[in-house]
Structure 1
Amino acid sequence: MSAQCQILVIDDDERLRSLISSYLTQEGFNVSVTGDSEEAFLIIYEKDPHLIILDINLPGANGLTICRKLRHTGIVTPIIMLTARGDDSDRIYGLEIGADDYLTKPFNPRELVARIRAVLRRQSIAGFSLFETESIVYKFGRFVLDLKKQSLAKNGEDIHISGAEFALLRLLISEVGKPISRDQLVARMTSKEHHPDQRGIDMLVFRLRKRLDDRETLGGMIRTLRGVGYIFVADVSTEKGA
């Protein structure tokens, strides 16, 4: 599970960041670190990590504020929150606003790894239930979207894509050539685990365009309809998968 799995550690304690990064790297994870909340958002939008380890007591925008902002913008990346306090109110509030787990400092690094793997397993199971399990493959340009495998490939090579990005691309392709409003996308993307808003949809489209090397031009695959929403215009063929 850890192979090619990207973890972002957000903590202003440089020594702890280094220790966590070293331990997770030894366990086979790819790790990015920052102690700055503004830089954290840049890394999240650029690298789209599989999981975020988030200190609650950051200077400036604290961990609770960051967690709440991520969830309000439709980003459902799993979050494990860290705190030096054992205050139940912080723990409960963190879980209420969308954190997936909670760990109080000091902690055993082995426990952190166990919690990371548990959260990723839960996300994998929940994410799979969001999509159809039929064996259908969509082909468009140099890309292949496999519903059964929940994978996106370009020229035969897999491309990392988050569950939310996969769901949005699948919706756009299923309505190829038809305009879809942001409200419709919000409604169809909403589930027990996922509560996007229009800004969240726009950010997912931005990230999808990067995955697809797509530009917002007349020749692009995902085109913006001002005041309406989006339309997917690539030539799409459909076939049964393995």
Structure 2
Amino acid sequence: MSQDAPLLIVEDEPKIARLMDDYLTAHGYNVATLGHGDDVLPWLQQHSTTLVLLDVMLPGKDGLTLCREIRQAWPTIAIIMVTAKVEEVDRLLGLELGADDYICKPFSPREVVARVKAVLRRSQAIAEQAQTQTPNAVASSPVTLNEDGWQALANGHDLGLTAVEFQLLRVMMQSPGRIFSREQLMDHMYRDNRIVSERTVDSHIKKLRKKITEALPEQEIIRSVYGVGYKYQPEG
């Protein structure tokens, strides 16, 4: 971990913020902390980071709003939501807005460290896979991938994909016409064998489709196969 790129903890409860800071620092991470939602975007404009631990309930801007805004402006930053809300809707909403993972309070500090390691490892794996991707594999596609920048482009427009959305699109684009089940897509999204709902895949696909449709309103790129899964198959 570069000392110039600290992890950012956004947590308004000082004891919790200090606990996460201490454990992550003990495991070799450089850490910065903020306690107010309104301070997050200005901080990100002035500093580099690879991951944000983002509490949902914050003074000022709430965590879900910040998650969406961070994802739009800095699509490659990993985001782990930290929440006391345990309802499935809240979890899925956080993921749909662009979060890479979530942790529910109360939690053990070891769980935080494990989740951070898993998300950063997954992000690094995506970057390494992108560097080895054959650039002409999907040259005829209306969507092109800038592997070095983790960008998906449609008509020259950056779709602003999250790391998970980029990985989903990349996997399907490698095999145009192949139908991927939700379970297969989950294996590509989450390589740490966590248990997640198939609805999580649907949430990511919905978000991905929306971004593509905004750039290519006349084309259907990702298609549903009822009862089976999804496939990448541009029209024509």
- TM-score (norm. length: structure 2): 0.57
Which residue of the partner structure matches residue 174 of structure 1?
Answer: none
Please list, as runs of the form range in 1=range in 2, the aligned pairs for 1:23-102 lying within 5 A after superposition.
23-102=23-102
Structure possessing the higher radius of gyration over alpha carbons = 1
**Could you tell me whether the CA contact under 8 Å between 2:78 and 2:120 is conserved in 1?**
yes
Asked whether the equivalents of residues 76 and 194 of structure 1 are also in contact (C-alpha less than 8 Å), the reply is no
2:165 aligned partner: 193
Please list the CA deviations of residues 153-172 of structure 1 after superposition, one character each: whole Å capped at 9, or x if unmatched.
xxxxxxxxxxx99528x9xx
Residues 12, 34 of structure 1: 8 Å contact kept: yes
Shift in alpha-carbon separation, 1:72–1:40, aligned structure 2, 3 A: same
Q: Deviations over 1:203-240 (max 9, x none)?
A: xxxxxxxxxxxxxxxxxxxxxxxxxxxxxxxxxxxxxx
Instruction: Measure, in 2, the Cα distance between the counterparts of 1:188 and 1:39.
Output: 23
> Partner of 1:209 in structure 2?
none
Structure 1 position 122 matched with structure 2 position 104: no
Between the aligned partners of 2:37 and 2:97, the Cα distance in structure 1 is 18
Shift of 1:45: 2.1
- Once residues 162 and 107 of structure 2 are traced to their aligned partners in structure 1, the CA distance between those partners, rounded to angstroms, is 35
Residue 167 of structure 1: aligned partner:
149
Where in structure 2 are there 5+ consecutive unaligned residues?
A: 135-145, 168-236
- 2:158 maps to a residue whose letter is V
In 1, Cα distance between equivalents of 2:6 and 2:95: 22
The alignment partner of 1:167 has SS state of coil
Displacement, 1:71? Answer: 1.7
CA drift at 1:89 = 1.1
Provide Cα deviations, 1:170-220, integer angstroms capped at 9, x if missing partner. Answer: 9xxxxxxxxxx996252698986349xxxxxxxxxxxxxxxxxxxxxxxxx
Aligned residues: 155
SS for the counterpart of 1:102 is strand
In the alignment, the residues of structure 2 paired with residue 40 and residue 97 of structure 1 have an alpha-carbon distance, to the nearest angstrom, of 17
Unaligned runs of 5+ in 1: 135-163, 171-180, 196-242
> Does the 8 A contact of 1:56 with 1:83 survive in 2?
yes
Name 2:216's counterpart in structure 1. Answer: none
Task: Report the counterpart of residue 106 of structure 2 in structure 1.
Answer: 106
Separation in 2, partners of 1:16, 1:188:
32
Q: Say which SS state the counterpart of residue 79 (structure 1) adopts.
A: strand
> Is the 2:50–2:78 Cα contact (8 Å) retained in structure 1?
yes
Residue 72 and residue 22 in structure 1: after superposition, are their counterparts in 2 closer, same or farther (change >3 A)? same
Alignment partners' CA distance in 1, 2:82 and 2:50:
17
Describe the shift of the 1:194–1:71 C-alpha distance in structure 2 as closer, same or farther (beyond 3 A): farther
TM-score by length of 1: 0.55
Superposed CA offset, 1:94-120 (max 9, x none): 011111111111111111101100001
More strand by share: 1
CA contact (8 A) 1:8 1:51 kept: yes
What whole-Å deviation, never above 9, does each CA across 1:60-114 have from its counterpart, x for those lacking one? 2111110011122343311111111212111111011111111111111111101
Shift of the 89–189 alpha-carbon distance from structure 1 to 2, 3 Å rule, reads: closer
Deviation at 1:132, TM superposition (A): 4.7
Kindly tell me: are residues 128 and 193 of structure 1, through their superposed partners in 2, closer, same or farther at Cα, counting changes over 3 Å? farther
Deviates more, 1:5-14 or 1:24-33: 5-14
Task: Call closer, same or farther: CA 1:65–1:187 in 2, change over 3 Å.
Answer: closer
Higher relative contact order (CA 8 A, sep 6+): 1
Secondary structure of the structure 2 residue equivalent to 1:32: strand
Could you tell me how far apart the structure 2 residues matched to 1:190 and 1:115 are? 18
